Every structure is written in structure tokens, then in C-alpha cells.
Structure 1
Amino acid sequence: MDRFEGIRAFVAVVDAGSFTAAGERLGISNKLVSKYVAALENLQGVTLLNRTTRSLSLTLAGERYLLAARRVLAAVEELDAQSHADDGVLTGRLRVTAPVTFGEMFIDILTRDFLAAHPTLDIDLQLSDRYVDLAAQGFDVAIRIGALADSSLIARRIGRTEVWAVASPAYLAQHPAPNHPDALREHICLRDSNSSQPNRGTFVIQGKAVSVPLPGRITVNSAQAVRSLALAGEGVALSPRFVVARDVAEGRLIRLLANFPGQLLDIQALHLPQPFLPPRLTAYLDHLRARLRPVIEEGLPPGS
């Protein structure tokens, strides 16, 4: 067996979650994938994957081997890419992760628009609101919104968005609109647990950022679910502008407290520190900044 084929099959199984899905990704049968992985384990003298009839999981040896295997595949892909660099052709695959609502709303920019300009590239986009370990899971880029924890990752800001307070006309017919952020204490608030402080909202009051409590009975880990609840008249939502701007423009939701600017959230693209960035990664980061920033930052005051 070619050791490289075994490494490629092993990583594909981990990423795809099954031998069948890995075979579909690689264009070979699941039996051949299983054969490659078994041969690799035999060659290494260790078990890399725990196999049951219902699931697969990495052994401790497999977890260690996976990190090295990803580096090998990345190096080979980079060698292939460099062979085409002089003629300006970008090749290989980019693995990207982004928050669910953000990815669904901007799927064309994240995938189709970039691939149209680079037909020899592939993109594997994974949408998840959970924290993703780029090194362990083999991602090239992670898009994250809001404050970042201390990290060794390299961050590039691709835009900013303001948090808006919104409610439906039906809700406001039953509850007078708040005229000050403190008045949110008297309202039913819909909380997004993806926020760093879902039970509080930040507004600029007399030039200072002030945090106010957000009482409510519903907390959900989805910006789109919060939007849906607000549209249904269930309460006041604090949501990134890009999620609700069209609803506000078309009258389905009413923006509240417009005289009190909401929290500004950075939208950043993160990647692992590398002595040399692959050309496809540099091109993708440039694409995100050029195409996403004007859309995301529409309506923000200059200099925000």
C-alpha cells in the first residue's frame, strides 16, 4: 500500500465521519477506504480508529497521528499549489467553518463567488455555532463574530456589525416601545446564547457603553431562531444588524432605541500561524474582506 493513500483515507474518514462518506469524498469504494486505513494501522503498529457497528472514534494514538497526518496532506497540497503558482492558477481545497446563520445568509460570497474566479479550487464549508479547533479538525479558516478569547490564531477583521434591538408590530401593540435601554427591564427579551453575555445588552448612553439586563424566558443558541421568535411577536430581540435589517426595511420588525447605538461586533477570519500562507488562503481572505465588508457594514456610521 502507498502510505500516502492510507493517510489520505484516514483523514477523510475522520472528516467525513464514516468509511462510506469518505469513499464518496475520495471517489473510491468504502471497502477500499477501509482496506487503506487497516493497512496504515498495520504499518504503524497501532489502532487509529475505534470501530463499532454504529460509530467511529479516534483512539489516543489516532488523535496524535491525525495532527501529523493533516500536516503531511497540507504540505503535499502546498507542493501541488506551488507548481501552478507561476501561472497564477490556485489549486487545492480550502476548509472553512462559519456560524450557521452567517454562513446561510452569505453562502454565495463564502463559496460560489470565490469558486467562480478560481475554478480549480474546492471549498469544504462547515457551518457550526460551536467552537472549532482549527488544528485538530483541519480547517484553514474560521469566521467568528464578537470578542475573541486569547488565542494563538491569527485574526483578520473582515467587517463589523451593530447589534439592534427589534420587535414586531404585534408585540409593540401590546407593550409600549422602550424609550431608553433601561426600559428593557420591563420587557420580554429573547436571548441568543451565542452571545458572550446573553442576559445583558450593551448600548452607548451619553457617550459610554452601558450594560443593561435582559429579562426573559427564552434563551436559544441561534440568531435565526431569535429572529423567528421576534417575528412571531414573542418579545424584544437583540440581534446583529445583518440578520434583521431586511425585516426592518420591509416593516416586519421595528428597530427600537435607535438613538442609543448598540454593541459593535467584529467579524473576523482566523487562521493558524504559518511562516508562509498558501496563495489560495491569502486570496480567500482578500475575497472575504472585499466582498463581505461592504454588505455587512452597510448603514454603519463612518469610522465605526
Structure 2
Amino acid sequence: MDRIDAMRAFVAVVTEGNFSNAANALRLSPQLVSKYVSKLEDQLNTRLLNRTTRKVSLTEAGSHYFGHAQQILLSIDDMESQLGGLQQNPKGVLRINAPVSFALKHMARLVTDFQRRYPLVKVDLQLSDRKVDIIEEGFDVALRIGQLKSSSLVAKPVAPIRVVLCASPQYLATHGTPTQLADLNHHRYLHYSYMNMEGREDLYQCLKTKYMQQGSEFRSNNGDVLVDAAIAGAGLILQPTFIASTALSSGKLVIVLPEFEPEPLGLYVVYAHRKLLPHKVRCFIDFIEGYYGSPPYWDESITTR
């Protein structure tokens, strides 16, 4: 007797409620399903099901075995799905959630290249800076930036995200260039609403203290707006280089206090921890890994000073 077939028969009886429904689901005869389960009990030398003329129910041993059997069958199906997917073209709608500024600047080419390789996949890209519940809201994957906390989701690193303090040459010529962290108290700071500064003892903490004590002259939940304001001479900004790289490479913005640059954040692709990952999702995760480079291409033209 094939142990896997017997295990499938047993799990089907439990999930379908009886031998007849399990037989229909497996496209087998009820007699063969019953034979599989009986042989499995013989091999295990324990009763897994209590049978009456009206219903079946799990024994204590059967309850334990059922949980393990489900996991084993899921792992087998997952492996077969991966191997089979190598010979198949992924298709269907891939729903992606991504941060606004990052997507506007760096995802059009990614999606185009991905669909060029996998033309049967349709992409639904939704932009939002809030932390969406990808399972509740029906997303296949999400791109997130930060230092991710542990969760039930799977997060794979895609690229490092460098964050720099910068200002326009015009602003620095008027107000002076900070040479130490204490100098920040005498400068205008343009505050990004979503910047998480909790628990940091470096540049983040200094700017957090300044913001709490004095308030920032300009606050926004969009980094592109703050970069444009900084180029116009409005003050200092702390922003990721994927937003500010063009202005930095052209000299419209200049990095300030480079010796205090924070540790990079991370760009992650996040997806639900499912055993049977759809082929379209697996292909996207493999495709985006390493796509932007390390360091990413937007940092290649930036100099520190």
C-alpha cells in the first residue's frame, strides 16, 4: 500500500465528513477509501477513526495524526507545484502593494521587464504608504521599506535603502553647514510624517528631539514634496536616496553630516506564509530579488560630499 495515498484518504475522510464524500473528492470507490484507512491503522497499530453507521469521528490518536498528515501532504504538494511550475508559464492577476514615492520612481520599469518575461501575468499595482494587511485586502505581495518587525508574513530582502540628511547649496550658504549634531538645533527641518525614529540614539534621535521640542517648519507625508522644498531652500531633509538621488547627483542637494549617516534601511518583498505559493507570486519574488542591485543603481552616481 502507498502510504501517501492512504494518508490522503484519511485526511479526505476527516475533511469531507464521511467515506462517501471523501471517495467523491478523490474520485475513488468508498470501498477503496475504507481499505486505505484500515490499512493505515494497521500499519500504525492504532485506531484513527471511530466509525458508526451515521458518522465518523477522530480518536485522540487520529486527531494528532491528522495535523501532521496535513502538513506532510502540503509539503509534498508544494514541492510538486514548484517542480511543475518550472515547465509552466505563470498567469493570472498579480496584485502588488507598494510605497507611493518608490513605486513612482522605480517600479514602472520593474513591472514592464517582469511582464516582458511573463506575458500571461496581469499586474494590478496599488500605491499606498500605509501598512496594508495583504491577506485581508487581497494582495499577493507588498513592498515595504524599513526595519521590519517579526510577523507571520515572509519578508525577503530586495535592496538596501540609504537615508541621508541633505539640503540645497542655497540654504547652506544662507544658514551655514552643520558640522556636528548639536548644530541641528539652529536649522530648519522638513519633517516626513511617516519616519519612524523610535529607539534610535544617532541622527534620527537628534532630529526627533528637535521636532518634539521646536516643531518642524514644514511637515508632509510625501517625500517627493519635501525634496522639492529642500531644493527650493526651505531647510534640511532626512530622506532615502531613491527619492533624492537625482537632486544629489546634479548638485541641487548636498549631503550634510555624512559621518553620522544612519544604518541603511531595507526594501523587502512581503507575502503571506502559504505552503502552496502560486507560481505567479513565486516568479515575481525570484524576479525582484537582486533586480535593483546592491548597492542599488540610484546610489551609483551619488558622492558623499
Aligned counterparts, 1:1-304, within 5 A:
85=85, 87-197=87-197, 202-203=202-203, 211-212=206-207, 213-215=209-211, 216-294=216-294, 295=296, 298=299
Deviation of 1:276 (Å): 2.1
What displacement does 1:155 show?
A: 0.7
How far off its partner does 1:266 sit? Answer: 1.1
Deviation (angstroms), 1:210: 6.2
Q: CA deviation at 1:165?
A: 0.6
The one-letter amino acid of 1:256's match is V
Distance 1:99 1:86, change over 3 A: closer
Structure 1 counterpart of 2:120, which letter? Answer: T
Q: Normalized against structure 1, the TM-score is what? A: 0.64
Q: CA deviation at 1:86?
A: 5.8
Which residue does 1:46 correspond to in 2? Answer: none
- Structure 2: segments with no counterpart, 5+ residues: 1-77
The 1:126/1:227 distance shift into structure 2, 3 A limit, reads: same
Q: Give the distance between the partners of 2:191 and 2:261, measured in 1 at CA.
A: 18
User: Deviations 1:128-162 (Å, cap 9, x if unpaired)?
Assistant: 11121111110011111112344211111111112
Q: Distance in 1 between matches of 2:93 and 2:181?
A: 46
Q: CA deviation at 1:222?
A: 0.8
| Counterpart residue number, 2:72 | none
Change (3 A) 1:289 1:147: same
* TM-score normalised over the length of structure 2: 0.64
| Shift in CA distance, 139/244, structure 1 to aligned 2, threshold 3 Å | same
Q: 1:131 to 1:210 in 2, by over 3 A?
A: closer
Residue 293 of structure 2 aligns to a residue whose secondary structure is helix
- Are residues 219 and 118 of structure 1, via their aligned partners in 2, closer, same or farther at CA, if it must alter by over 3 Å? same
Letter in 2 for 1:237: I
Tell me the alpha carbon deviations over residues 7-63 of structure 1, each in whole angstroms, 9 at most, x when there is no partner. xxxxxxxxxxxxxxxxxxxxxxxxxxxxxxxxxxxxxxxxxxxxxxxxxxxxxxxxx
Tell me: higher relative CO, structure 1 or 2? Use CA pairs within 8 A at least 6 residues apart: 2
Change (3 A) 1:281 1:190: same
Overall identity of the aligned pairs, in %: 30
SS at the partner of 1:136?
A: coil
Equivalent residues of 1:90, 1:279 under 8 A apart: yes
Using a 3 Å threshold, how does the CA distance of structure 1 residues 202 and 286 change in structure 2: closer, same or farther? farther
Which whole-Å CA distance do the structure 1 matches of 2:242 and 2:276 have between them? 34
Q: CA RMSD in A?
A: 2.7
Number of residue-to-residue matches in the alignment: 215
Aligned to 2:17: none
Q: In the superposition, relative to structure 1, how do residues 85 and 289 fare at CA in structure 2: closer, same or farther (>3 Å)? A: closer
Q: Please, which moves more after superposition, 143-152 or 113-122?
A: 143-152
With over 3 angstroms needed to count, the CA separation of the structure-2 counterparts of 1:298 and 1:252, relative to structure 1, is: closer
Q: Deviations over 1:195-226 (max 9, x none)?
A: 1139x8844xxxxx965434422221111111
Tell me by how many angstroms 1:298 deviates.
Answer: 3.8
Cα distance change, pair 147–86 in 1 and its aligned pair in 2 (3 A) = closer
CA contact (8 A) 2:97 2:128 kept: yes
> Which position in structure 1 is the counterpart of 2:66?
none
How far apart in 1 are the matches of 2:147 and 2:218? 23
Mapped to 2, the partners of 1:150 and 1:286 lie a distance apart of: 22
One-letter identity of the residue aligned with 1:154: V
* Contact 1:103/1:110, CA 8 A, preserved across alignment: no
Residues 157 and 268, structure 2, Cα contact 8 Å, conserved in 1? yes
Looking at structure 2, the residues matched to 139 and 263 of structure 1 have their Cα atoms a distance apart, in angstroms, of: 30
CA distance in 1, matches of 2:261, 2:149: 24
- Conservation of the 8 A alpha-carbon contact between 1:201 and 1:214: no
Match of 2:4 in 1: none
How far the C-alpha of 1:183 sits from its partner, in A, is 1.5
Distance in 1 (CA, whole Å) between partners of 2:116 and 2:175 is: 49
